[in-house]
Structure 1
């Protein structure tokens, strides 16, 4: 991935942000919850003060006009993946700046540390082909399978049933928002800004399942 690319309105990008020196950026569930909330709260034209809106109504906050469209995301211990569409000028750059800055301030205060948390700003890949864009809905979500089977991409999946269950239950990705589960975090996504590849939740599950059994290393975007 390359950070030195120009973002254009109406185009799709795979955004990736890693902890400095590959360090963990999430140390507990509260950290993940905070970052996930920031994906919603930082995606708007209005300034938002997190401490004033904590609680069950957080994802109903008026953040103003969205500056990017988020199609998918997944959190790993030391990095995150986000599939986004640029819908306003400089939207992706501003969105990632707001998210990373807000989270870094929270993390450094909580863990009494100083200095950058993330490796540079962020990396991004321009997605120009339809088959690549569709593939990313599987690739991004399947990253988390490495948390239970670290070598599944190289050696194949050993426990398919367990992996499917883990994908469905993992709360810090957008996977279950595509499988029919109603979540407060659904407001993070702007599904209507992406091609309608999956007319039914079973289509999405089947598509991801194909890559789970086939192996993402076999795809060349």
Structure 2
């Protein structure tokens, strides 16, 4: 839950939002938990307007690179509350699921949007979950790959990332993948 400290939000600005489970326990125990959380993002986007330009759901935390004209606090609190209710019901737990309030770091320019996106996408590699970022299924990275056949949901907007590169969308995605690999 959000503490009483008032957050200052700038509408339309991107933030790097992170929320971690209490005591770093598993937030997602299996594929159905990851899928439920992803579906929760979809349903929340129907109620609250927001855009993600990258995301990654890790074992005990998640990262969202998010922008909204609405209060991001309300959006994240809504997501965390509904996911905690689902998790506690499914696993017969009581009490808080998240370790304190979520963190939100404002992203000040286009270059930092790229840096934060790469950081988010490479989290599973850094944590030694996978050896290559494209092997991790619970992030937005695979939507950049030319082999991807599925389209991202409407609330995922890669424009803030891709506008840093020249050419067609295909060439921009290819350039982003190359830039991430250095």
Is TM-score (shorter-chain normalized) higher than 0.5?
yes
CA 1:171–1:136: 2 relative to 1, 3 Å: same
Give CA deviations for 1:22-62 in whole Å, capped at 9, x if unaligned.
211011111111111111111233xxxxxxxxxxxxxxxxx
CA 1:195–1:146: 2 relative to 1, 3 Å: closer
Contact 2:50/2:155 (<8 A) preserved: no
Partner of 1:80, secondary structure, is strand
Alignment of 1:145-156 (within 5 A): 145-148=125-128
Hey, what does 2:181 align to over in structure 1? Answer: 209
Partner of 1:163, secondary structure, is coil
Hey, what does 1:70 align to over in structure 2? Answer: 52
Partner of 2:131, secondary structure, is helix
Hey, what does 1:196 align to over in structure 2? Answer: 163
Partner of 2:29, secondary structure, is coil
Given the alignment, which residue of 74, 89, 100 partners 2:70? Answer: 89
CA distance in 1, matches of 2:79, 2:160: 21
CA distance in 2, matches of 1:22, 1:38: 21
Number of corresponding residues: 172
CA 1:130–1:188: 2 relative to 1, 3 Å: closer
CA 1:138–1:43: 2 relative to 1, 3 Å: same
CA distance in 1, matches of 2:34, 2:116: 21
Tell me, which stretches of 5 or more residues in structure 2 are unaligned? none
TM-score normalised by structure 1 residue count: 0.71
CA distance in 2, matches of 1:184, 1:30: 20
Give CA deviations for 1:55-99 in whole Å, capped at 9, x if unaligned.
xxxxxxxxxxx521111000111100110112x231x11211121
CA distance in 1, matches of 2:176, 2:121: 11
Partner of 2:18, secondary structure, is strand
The runs of at least 4 consecutive aligned structure 1 residues that moved more than 3 Å come to: 184-188, 192-195
Hey, what does 2:131 align to over in structure 1? Answer: 163
Tell me, which stretches of 5 or more residues in structure 1 are unaligned? 46-65, 150-161, 211-221
Hey, what does 2:84 align to over in structure 1? Answer: 104
Shift of 1:195: 5.8
CA distance in 2, matches of 1:188, 1:23: 29
CA 1:130–1:73: 2 relative to 1, 3 Å: same
Contact 1:177/1:186 (<8 A) preserved: no
Shift of 1:21: 1.6
Given the alignment, which residue of 178, 183, 200 partners 2:144? Answer: 178
TM-score normalised by structure 2 residue count: 0.85
